[in-house]
Structure 1
Amino acid sequence: MDNGLEKRYGLLTAIAMVVGIVIGSGVFFKAEKVLTATGGNLSLGILAWLLGGLVMILCAYNFALMATKHEKVSGVVDYAEVLVGGRYAYFFAWFAAVIYFPAMTSVVAWVAARYFGVLMGWEIVGPQVMTLSGLFLVGSYVINALAPKLAGRLQVTTTAAKLIPLFLMAIFGSIFGLKNGILVENFTTTAVHTFTSKNPLFTAVVGTCFAYEGWICATSINAELKDAKKNLPLALIFGSAFVVLVYILYYIGLAGAVKNEVMMAGGETGARIAFETVFMQLGGTLLFIFVVISCLGTLNGLMMACTRAFYAMGVRDEGPRPQVFKVVDTVTKMPTNSALIGLMMAMLWLTYFYGANLAPKPWFGPFCFDSSELPIVTIYAMYIPIFVMQMKKEQELGFFYRVVVPALGVIASAFMVLAAIVSLRKAVLYYLILFAVLMGIGLLLKNYGHEEE
């Protein structure tokens, strides 16, 4: 299959996509939720981060094995096609294009604007933050659509920048907490004695899934990656393990900076309070600027995947008007039409996120849910058939790689789905209704416009 895309990215960019997309908004955005969900129980919170990280590592390792054998157009969609079939691959690609990538991208755009708003003293649901969210989406689209090589360099640069506040807080926050006793106190006492959820561990794990998500986006540049069969597995394995280590160290560093109840009460300013406690006001503000840069790096990586989502269908001559979306610009070597509709989908999901989660009065009644979490859980459910068929079809692999590793992937994915059902309850049902409607639209549009080719 001639995909028409240029081999422009190397191993460093692939690793930067895994680390840079995963590490970014989520670790700052969800640390407060994990702490609140566990009632300030630091050990239970760390267990949640470990379990969420284990799910990511097991799934990433399975896809790393697939990447050593299959190199086509769009990573995970390719694996779905080879192992499960073309029809399943189409629906996976449609889900990624209309729900997963744009929903994630829109939330991260808001998170980046939210933390910038904290620096400026704006309300996190005010007009300034929402306008800036849209501007961040458009800016990220422009860079990816018109200057994809610059987007790759930006991903590497922002990945390096975002590690600065995480490592500084991990090291100096822990030292600070050991010296003044806060870290030991936070480990030995619980901030509150009643949990915000009947299942605190599952609720916390579902919270971490947003912080850990994004690694799968690295597979979207499969066709543009030099020596993809070697470099993509390395990026997935090294990147995912590195992320888990950094997250846990950062979480412990936060616990050394301020008491758990202060962090929980701080809401959107909790991370800033921790940074300013350890590094004083000026240092805390400067480090918080790096947090905003970190979120923008995550947004850039997600937009890299979002702009290629409709192309993944078009190049297979599937989905609406494939002759439109498989076109690659002769100058930028980018699927410009696919990029544009990817931006439009992200804008729609940003509007939904505001109406469902931020508006003074929710717009969508019972169909209001957190679009930063439920689409992630759906994609884990969609991994399961791929792992099952991996066990059935990859006969040349040994028992461990053909049976044990995929089976662990199935268990990890099923655990994440169960955690979502137990912790989010009714929201899962209403989300699945919306999911079914959108997938039904995908079925109707599967062959739309093909007669015009």
Structure 2
Amino acid sequence: MLLMDYELQKKYGLFTAIAMVIGIVIGSGVFFKAEKILLATGGDLPLGILAWVIGGMIMIVCAYVFATMATRYEKVNGVVDYAEATMGRGYAYILGWFMTTIYYPAITSVLAWVSARYTCVLLGWDIVGAEAMAIAGFYLVGSYALNALSPKLAGKFQVSTTIIKLIPLILMAILGTITGLSNGVLVKNFTSGVIADVSTANPLFTAVVATAFAYEGWIIATSINAELKDAKKNLPRALTFGTMFVALIYILYYTGLAGAVENSVIMEGGETGAKIAFSTVFSNLGGSVLFVFVVISCLGTLNGLMLGCTRGFYSLAARDLGPQPHIYKNIDANTNMPTNSAIMGLLFTAGWLLYFFGANLVPESWFGPFSFDSSELPIVTLYVMYIPIFIMMMIKEQSLGGFKRFIMPTLAIFACIFMVIAAIYAHRWAVLYYLILFIVVMAVGGIFYFTKKPH
């Protein structure tokens, strides 16, 4: 979704590229979903770690295949362009419309609430009350303003938060594990098995789907190939090593969390469970300071996703597709930003934030059966839409060797299918009602495509 100048200089080496991948992927999900994974598995720590491993493997395999595609199309950036190169203009538009109207705004709206959630935990406020939603709205508008008015400042903020993201993860992974081994909490959590009832038929599937939110973002990293030295070698390496590092850090953090406090404390503590763990290992003051880093980490991820939201309609208009292309392809002379596209991106994100609140946070849902987890199902949908791209890659890329042409894409297809099956087990009937909404939105997009399609 992020359009880049095809004449950008090759200025990044392998280590810089790996750092960029890590910075893009790591965000709020590991903090937000660690608690859900424990609840989904009934406190079974080894099963939770297995979920993190499977989710990480799915990310690594899919990222490797897209990295291979990125090296085949030298002037192409992003998943929408890969879709166009393999499946054609129509499928690329469908994917672009989905990412513009559902994927980016839905995920971004959840990030705004997650950032507000941990801010409220830090201040001791209700995470679903008026305070949380007011802060979520402020973070949403603030992130939009940062991206729309000063793209350079937004970029600097993104880079600075990358280092901050790693601090609480690494410290908890190391010191939490050491603490847990010395006081016996870690061994107890590993050997206690299931300590609470589980609400799903297959806890592992539910947990794996939860990891998808934490691991999401790697696809954006494929857009750096235009600025990467020796991209044909370094991009696959950066995506492979970068995603492997992320998976390792997540697993170690999850283990360190289990060494800090007993699983039951995290499960019963709800949103405050992570703060209790940080305070236990680092004292109340140290825990609070590190929890500020958690909030900053969430805001960094929100900023990165808002960057995609503001460019969504522009990415369609640049192809003379979507609603009113002549309006949304305009670039502001002063900020070098697609201002009209950014405004629509904010509007869609605000709409999805309203939906998330009414569907997931109020005691009685506003939307009845049409209430689903907008932090997970859009991501699974994207995995479904990868499958035709992988199939066409195997058909078209005849010059590739067997490993890159057949083995890795086949593994990626199976990984995507696994994610779909897991989502159906985890969300059940909610998947059907989500699909109804998905079909309606895509039908509207289809109308724009057939009425605006250039001849």
1:104 matched to 2:119: no
1:367 matched to 2:370: yes
Work out the CA distance in 2 between the residues paired with 1:402 and 1:5.
26
Aligned-partner residue type, residue 180 of structure 2 = G
Work out the CA distance in 2 between the residues paired with 1:184 and 1:436.
48
Gaps of 5+ in 1: none
Q: Are the counterparts in 1 of residues 113 and 136 from structure 2 also a CA contact under 8 Å? A: yes
Work out the CA distance in 2 between the residues paired with 1:417 and 1:13.
33
1:240 matched to 2:229: no
**Offset at residue 310 of structure 1 (A):** 1.4
* TM-score between the two structures when normalised by the length of structure 2: 0.94
RMSD: 2.2
Q: Which residue does 1:202 correspond to in 2? A: 205
Q: Which residue does 1:380 correspond to in 2? A: 383
**Offset at residue 392 of structure 1 (A):** 0.3
Identity, % of aligned pairs? 62
Alignment partner of 1:353: what SS?
helix
**Offset at residue 57 of structure 1 (A):** 0.6
1:169 matched to 2:169: no
Q: Are the counterparts in 2 of residues 6 and 333 from structure 1 also a CA contact under 8 Å? A: no
**Offset at residue 165 of structure 1 (A):** 0.4
1:134 matched to 2:140: no
Question: Which of 109, 121, 126 is the aligned partner of 2:124?
Answer: 121
Within 5 Å, give how 1:32-71 maps onto structure 2.
32-71=35-74
Could you give the per-residue CA deviations for residues 346-376 of structure 1, whole angstroms, max 9, x where no partner exists?
1110010001001232110100000001001
Work out the CA distance in 2 between the residues paired with 1:187 and 1:31.
15
**Offset at residue 89 of structure 1 (A):** 0.3
Work out the CA distance in 2 between the residues paired with 1:16 and 1:337.
32
Work out the CA distance in 2 between the residues paired with 1:16 and 1:132.
30
1:217 matched to 2:220: yes
Q: Which residue does 2:422 correspond to in 1? A: 419
Aligned-partner residue type, residue 427 of structure 2 = L
* TM-score between the two structures when normalised by the length of structure 1: 0.94
1:254 matched to 2:245: no
TM-aligned CA distance change 1:346 to 1:129, over 3 Å: same
State which drifts further: 230-239 or 370-379: 230-239
TM-aligned CA distance change 1:202 to 1:364, over 3 Å: same
Work out the CA distance in 2 between the residues paired with 1:278 and 1:172.
7
Could you give the per-residue CA deviations for residues 192-236 of structure 1, whole angstroms, max 9, x where no partner exists?
15322210000110111111112223346767x466945654543
Could you give the per-residue CA deviations for residues 52-76 of structure 1, whole angstroms, max 9, x where no partner exists?
0000111111111111122446410
**Offset at residue 333 of structure 1 (A):** 2.5
Q: Are the counterparts in 1 of residues 275 and 291 from structure 2 also a CA contact under 8 Å? A: yes
1:152 matched to 2:155: yes
Q: Are the counterparts in 2 of residues 220 and 308 from structure 1 also a CA contact under 8 Å? A: no
Within 5 Å, give how 1:276-425 maps onto structure 2.
276-425=279-428
Q: Are the counterparts in 2 of residues 67 and 228 from structure 1 also a CA contact under 8 Å? A: no
Could you give the per-residue CA deviations for residues 294-314 of structure 1, whole angstroms, max 9, x where no partner exists?
100111111121122212211
**Offset at residue 384 of structure 1 (A):** 0.2
Work out the CA distance in 1 between the residues paired with 2:445 and 2:16.
32
Q: Which residue does 1:428 correspond to in 2? A: 431
Q: Are the counterparts in 1 of residues 41 and 48 from structure 2 also a CA contact under 8 Å? A: yes
Could you give the per-residue CA deviations for residues 249-293 of structure 1, whole angstroms, max 9, x where no partner exists?
000000100001111111000100000011110000000000000
Aligned-partner residue type, residue 426 of structure 2 = S
Could you give the per-residue CA deviations for residues 92-111 of structure 1, whole angstroms, max 9, x where no partner exists?
00000000011001100110
